[in-house]
Amino acid sequence: MAFAVLGTIPCAIAQDDFFSNIDVNPTRGNSMRSKDYSVIAWITQKVAQGLEQPDPIFSRQERELNKIETSLFAQLDGPFGEQLNFRISGKIYHDEIYRLNDGTDYSRDERDEFRNRLEVKDFYIERQYENGLYLKLGNQILAWGLAEYLRVTDLINTEDQTTYAQQDLEDIRLQVPAALLSYTAGDWVFDGVVTYRAGRNDIAPTGDEFDPLITQRGSGMALLRDSPANRSEIFFRASTHMSQGDLQIVASEFNDNALSIEKISALGSIDPQLTYQQNRMRAIGLAANWADGSWLLFGELGMHFDKAVRPKPDSFLRQRNGWDEKDQLLSVMAIEYSGFRNLLLNFEIDSNHTREHDSFMAARENQLSFGSRLIWTALNERLQVLAVWSQLADNAGRVSRMSINYNWSDNLDLGLMWVDYSSEDDSPFYSFRNNDVLQLHLRYNFQI
């Protein structure tokens, strides 16, 4: 299958960041810090080499360069009238690989998607009222929850899954059109969010080495996608800060950001069809952390209702009315230690229990996944080494990542990244096992 499958496996790869508590006090929002206009920007150049030969079903089938990407990010902050502030940011990309690799038969979708693209990132206004109310309206990121690897209460934003486990943390969450209203009452902050047409996770296009539907492209079936019946989503959070930690309680009704099969039609005809859609879900959960010296403990617990679950391969075409929907109990237990000099260690165990499990499900009734992360800094924090290792749920695969970043100056950063994928032959990730990559990047930062 694909990353339509990915949405059914409760594990995402932690990226280049360490755990930090979400600031729930809207009066300290960083975009409210100044009444002056400011512009920050950076230019990034990435060159990546595919280290293995992907299967013949993909466009790239050789060990060769797979990315020569140049991008420009820019962000403008400033006042809008007397009481409002705004932020506008965006990013443009150009990948020269589609011109230089003449021998690779890239699909039209790949060229259209990746050769040249423009993304609108933040696009919002905000206002802090004297009575404790805070309003933020527009395209924005709202990062809730505490876990690094499993989405339990962090459910608002969609994700960029076009290059699984290779993105930096700030590039994984994607902005969604939303209205946030916060109210501070004593030690508690209450947040309400409504989104409209927030979309789904971004996935790789036809033929790309991370194409989530690659195994179905050659089946002779037309792959269709329906829009959600209800395009509005609602989220609520109550959060507070205690003497040694934080507590968040979250409830929501939303569209699953991962695609699942809605129906299979016209089997046996000359034009059979698979129709994908985001199924409607509800969730309730809590997240908490506790700090003591060099130790930080954190965890999450939540119920997700009506999750579409992937069937076994031999049952796939039998579920013509769509995948079964099950209720799942998700939990996270994690520990972080910062007692070593210049070294940060993080370990997280995630579990997923499916209620009313049956023999048609591909995943087990009880699934465990594991993630670990090491961050070491030196040279006055100019040098950073990050190592990540993750075991996906149901032994579906393993991902290892190591990156070395060096801050040459206040404006210039250099980096090297290596990612290794491995998977068993009965895993839904098996097709992606040869996507190992070595990437160099250079980033120049400036501001006005």
Provide the pLDDT for residue 421. Answer: 96
Provide the pLDDT for residue 168. Answer: 60
Query: What one-character DSSP code corresponds to residue 160?
Result: B
Q: What is the pLDDT of residues 196-210, one digit of tens each?
A: 999 999 999 999 999
Does position 373 have pLDDT exceeding 60, yes or no?
Answer: yes
Provide the pLDDT for residue 29. Answer: 45
- The dihedral built from the CA positions of residue 62, 63, 64 and 67, taken in this order, carries a sign that is positive
Q: What is the pLDDT of residues 39-74, one digit of tens each?
A: 999 999 999 999 999 999 999 999 999 999 999 999
* Helix count and strand count (H, E) for the chain: 5, 23
| 36 confidence band (pLDDT: 50, 70, 90) | confident
Q: What is the pLDDT of residues 374-387, one digit of tens each?
A: 999 999 999 999 99
- The dihedral built from the CA positions of residue 207, 392, 200 and 436, taken in this order, carries a sign that is negative
Provide the pLDDT for residue 23. Answer: 44
Provide the pLDDT for residue 28. Answer: 41
Provide the pLDDT for residue 434. Answer: 95
Does position 338 have pLDDT exceeding 50, yes or no?
Answer: yes
**Measured in whole angstroms, how far is the alpha carbon of residue 106 from the centre of its chain?**
25
Does position 21 have pLDDT exceeding 80, yes or no?
Answer: no
Please tell me which residue, 397 or 27, carries the higher pLDDT value.
Answer: 397
Q: What is the pLDDT of residues 70-102, one digit of tens each?
A: 999 999 999 988 889 999 999 999 999 999 998
Least confidently predicted of 4-18, 48-62, 287-301? 4-18
Provide the pLDDT for residue 35. Answer: 54
Provide the pLDDT for residue 2. Answer: 39
Q: Is 317 exposed, middle or buried (0-12, 13-18, 19+ CB in 10 A)?
A: middle
Provide the pLDDT for residue 22. Answer: 40
The C-alpha R_g of the chain, in whole angstroms, comes to 22
Does position 8 have pLDDT exceeding 70, yes or no?
Answer: no
Query: What one-character DSSP code corresponds to residue 428?
Result: T
**For residues 125-139, average pLDDT:** 95
Strands (E), 9-110: 38-50, 65-80, 84-95
Residues 6+ apart with CB under 8 A from 42: 72, 73, 443, 444, 445, 446
Q: How would you label 341-367 residue by residue, b for 16+ Cβ within 10 Å and e otherwise?
A: eeebbbebbbbbebeeeeebbbbeeeb
**For residues 421-442, average pLDDT:** 92
Q: What is the pLDDT of residues 176-185, one digit of tens each?
A: 999 999 999 9
Q: How far apart are CA 354 and CA 367, in angstroms?
A: 9
Model confidence, pTM: 0.88
Provide the pLDDT for residue 5. Answer: 41
Provide the pLDDT for residue 24. Answer: 40
Q: How far apart are CA 281 and CA 233, in angstroms?
A: 10
Reference 428, options 3, 60, 13, 114; nearest CA is 3
Q: What is the pLDDT of residues 208-255, one digit of tens each?
A: 999 999 988 877 789 999 999 999 999 999 999 988 999 999 999 999
Reference 239, options 143, 337, 173; nearest CA is 143
Q: How far apart are CA 370 and CA 399, in angstroms?
A: 11
**Other CB atoms within 10 Å distance of the CB of residue 288:** 17
Q: Is 237 exposed, middle or buried (0-12, 13-18, 19+ CB in 10 A)?
A: buried
Q: How far apart are CA 272 and CA 250, in angstroms?
A: 41
Query: Do residues 297 and 334 touch, judged by C-beta distance below 8 A?
Result: yes
Provide the pLDDT for residue 267. Answer: 85
Provide the pLDDT for residue 104. Answer: 93
Q: Is 266 exposed, middle or buried (0-12, 13-18, 19+ CB in 10 A)?
A: exposed
Provide the pLDDT for residue 169. Answer: 57
Measured CA distances, 267 to 270, 321, 360 (Å): 8, 12, 20
Provide the pLDDT for residue 170. Answer: 60
Q: What percent of the chain has pLDDT over 90?
A: 78
Q: What is the mean pLDDT of the chain?
A: 90
Provide the pLDDT for residue 315. Answer: 87
Provide the pLDDT for residue 367. Answer: 96
Q: How far apart are CA 369 and CA 391, in angstroms?
A: 6
Terminal Cα distance for the chain, rounded: 47
